[in-house]
Amino acid sequence: MGLFITVHLDNTKCPSGCKKCVTICPVDIFQMKSGKVFSDEMAEDECTLCDLCLEVCPIDNIEIQKHY
């Protein structure tokens, strides 16, 4: 988890083939590994809080927490 920002998602719920968050995030927080989407914990503090991932996720699967 990031020091200032945590990006949560449950990749067991993602519809097969969805990578909308990976595509839209301007700072590449989301990464694909073995066909599943993960949040790159080392990059989470780079999140700009633009909310684009929240808007494109079809199942409301992403939660962003600020720790400040």
Residues in the site for ligand SF4, rule: CB under 6 A? 7, 9, 14-15, 18-21, 24-27, 29, 37, 47-53, 56-59, 61-62, 64
* Closest distance of CB 11 from ligand SF4, Å: 6
* Closest distance of CB 2 from ligand SF4, Å: 10
Nearer to ligand SF4, 26 or 41 (CB): 26
Q: What is the 3-state secondary structure (H, E, C) of 7-66?
A: EEECCCCCCCCCCHHHHHCCCCCEEEECCEEEECHHHHHHCCCCCHHHHHCCCCCEEEEE
